[in-house]
Structure 1
């Protein structure tokens, strides 16, 4: 019988608001409320155990009129706002949370906290909510989080991450044993803690072709402990010039692209736990696996997959690093080669606003996958855009774009690019030998960026708020 695993994700903007509660003029304790989405994972792909991930959705300040008293050792407030919070949590299927500070103490729940929260938890469960979270932060910005459950249990959440342009663990890590000799050279640049962090991260790679196989190979070599690779396709002869690890015998054996990556990881014997999932992004069988990830790379070349990942990133606050290439040969022999890496986190514009996704092409691709007979019928009737000739592909360019993408994750973990962490949008013009950073304005009609109520919303019915 598996024990339920728990983890919590705080949007970096929400964690900053929690930290600001420490800024009281007299050093007294302060408090606030929050609402969390809940991501129920039937089976974690790496452990097989059920998991509950709570994702910060909204920070709710306590009105001045509801504050009763505070000192360096206590804070009290009236329960009117708490009852309103419970009503909202119940109606929207969210988990309410209590936040308070220990500015002169430690991030640990006191016996008084235990007593007060136990009573509030009983009230919450009478109201019909799924759980009650409690968060405490101390003057050193250390944090502790626990979950009260309807069965009377109180469970410490030991894995808490802050996500945004920067990604970091807010709680101490339960470390895997790694061979430090293998990763010594990168520890000399980023410190040993870098290797500790990446050994604990769960990284998804959607697409295992040219760019995806390069991304996965780099993650394995860097020492990321848990890697998920999602792709439906098998290797073909034309893949051999650019898919890392692919061999002619694999094509003859019709090996899947994801098993190619799994074999490559096994042969390197560096210790990563690689899960190979032969599936489309967005399929029923891929949902739990992708919801379990801390960061996802989008290395798929289809618009339907990108639309899915775009929504997944928004609903579940999972940073998305999307990458792509565009190559064109002109009649005079001149070539244009563009590489792109776009990061979508809270505060960055989505793939739709950047013009990366074509909704019509996405609809066509979904139809081709789900109803191929009807797709070909409509294509003959000219209702579907033709696919045209295969796009050019050169392994040096696909691999360099993969390096650009993985380095964005490294920037999120180390800030080697500066305190801003990941860059929102980078376009490398290989032919012109420069990088450009075009910005995108949020579209008022964008179904993702314009809907702030879905940020961190996690599980909803229907999944990701879509039908079909």
Structure 2
């Protein structure tokens, strides 16, 4: 079988499914997963949209050839729904055991008798099965080209969890990372090395995040930002050099047209970030895109990442990343720092890190993508301008590297604890926290969730490639 397939499920869904399969009775139980599909060069992901639990004795009954089976009616109802909505159909049951599992001969015979017909009913959209042990999963996914694929399971919750057919030995970590491998272990370092992470916005905060990720040993980085450096970026953007801003042309004493020419020749922020990353890691793969993330082909690059750090304050960028998170089941962390000025006086200062897990409260649900700002950005060139918190476009927003560092460090720490499996079980799905240095307060926020939300609700959730993202043509 081919093994470049995975099933992705949210932490909440996994809690329901695991509780049903392993209630403590030592018996076998069943369910069906209805999944959206996302394909990329890294493989095919089946995104769990619905977990349909099979009721014991009603939907999951004694079998003729095997111990238990899903009833024909239960299968028919679910395959019809999948066919109607172009979703993949995955039957689920459990075996005994802990760290390894496989289908029985009876299971495989059942697949060979039934899955060709189900594949026809589902108009060629994949069908298949998963079998679970306590800490393991095996998959048998059938596709219209006549191939069968094994599959792993990824739980995008806090902590993050990956299940395979049997334990996969971790390579001994590169000695360069010895000090951090003492915390995360060889397996944790291997997770970092295999991760693909995006940073959207490479200004004061994003440049710090980019450097942190490279120094941690993340294997693949995607940097997206349309802007070039200007002289006011030098105190805050990691790795920025005076030569990057063409100081002879951008000096305040120069005529406006000369400064505009200098701005055109200044170094792109993504190139500065890539330079810093390559100084930190010889092995990191870096893709830089000096364009807006809301352009269709740029947004598509986000859809096979493992995590997205959003350090751009555009409402259009927030909406796009928010949609990717829930449509493709890819967690994101929105990061920022803000100095509010009212009548010339500082009213508030804070740094914020908001990690959003698919299926839980999102930026839209919590009023962080205001409609007025979307309208303004969609009808002007606001989204191309630098981040500002003051209405006058000729005045730069207040910003300090230390505030940015607080937000960036908290965001990357939360992500590290999550993927490294160090977040305690039972931790909230989302982690939103703000630091207010004027009052020395650290405030944790519990994000709200709206069931009818157009971003994290049923109109988009886990649809993968089947739905369009809120982008603009390139």
Give me the whole-angstrom Cα distance separating, in 2, the residues matched to 1:166 and 1:417.
5
Q: Which moved more, 1:106-115 or 1:392-401?
A: 106-115
Give me the whole-angstrom Cα distance separating, in 1, the residues matched to 2:286 and 2:112.
41
Q: Within the alignment, does 1:436 sit opposite 2:430 as a pair?
A: no
Q: Within the alignment, does 1:81 sit opposite 2:74 as a pair?
A: yes
Residue in 2 aligned with 1:365?
Answer: 377
Shift of 1:156: 1.2
Go from structure 1 to structure 2 and tell me whether the alpha carbon gap of 1:151 and 1:333 turns closer, same or farther (over 3 Å shift): closer
Deviations 1:370-422 (A, max 9, x none): 999xx9xxxxxxxxx87573211111111221101111102212455533166
Q: How many pairs were matched up?
A: 444
Residue in 1 aligned with 2:411?
Answer: 405
Shift of 1:25: 6.2
Give me the whole-angstrom Cα distance separating, in 2, the residues matched to 1:390 and 1:222.
32
Unaligned runs of 5+ in 2: 247-264, 386-390
SS at match of 1:204: strand
SS at match of 1:40: strand
Give me the whole-angstrom Cα distance separating, in 2, the residues matched to 1:401 and 1:335.
19
Shift of 1:183: 1.1
Unaligned runs of 5+ in 1: 45-50, 376-384
Deviations 1:122-169 (A, max 9, x none): 11222114111311101x3211223111122111125x3110232222
Q: CA RMSD in A?
A: 3.0
SS at match of 1:192: helix
TM-score w.r.t. length of structure 1: 0.86
Q: Within the alignment, does 1:56 sit opposite 2:63 as a pair?
A: no
Shift of 1:322: 0.6
Retained in 2: the 8 A contact 1:21–1:101?
Answer: no
Give me the whole-angstrom Cα distance separating, in 1, the residues matched to 2:61 and 2:429.
42
Out of 345, 354, 361, the residue aligned to residue 349 of structure 1 is: 361
Q: Which moved more, 1:172-181 or 1:309-318?
A: 172-181
Give me the whole-angstrom Cα distance separating, in 2, the residues matched to 1:5 and 1:390.
47
Out of 206, 216, 220, the residue aligned to residue 212 of structure 1 is: 206
SS at match of 1:146: strand
SS at match of 1:455: coil
Shift of 1:437: 1.4
Go from structure 1 to structure 2 and tell me whether the alpha carbon gap of 1:13 and 1:398 turns closer, same or farther (over 3 Å shift): same
Residue in 2 aligned with 1:113?
Answer: 107
Residue in 2 aligned with 1:92?
Answer: 85
Residue in 1 aligned with 2:129?
Answer: 134
Go from structure 1 to structure 2 and tell me whether the alpha carbon gap of 1:264 and 1:112 turns closer, same or farther (over 3 Å shift): same
Shift of 1:445: 6.0
Shift of 1:37: 0.6
Shift of 1:61: 1.5
Give me the whole-angstrom Cα distance separating, in 1, the residues matched to 2:27 and 2:379.
59
Out of 411, 414, 427, the residue aligned to residue 434 of structure 2 is: 427
Out of 214, 217, 240, the residue aligned to residue 246 of structure 1 is: 240
SS at match of 1:464: coil
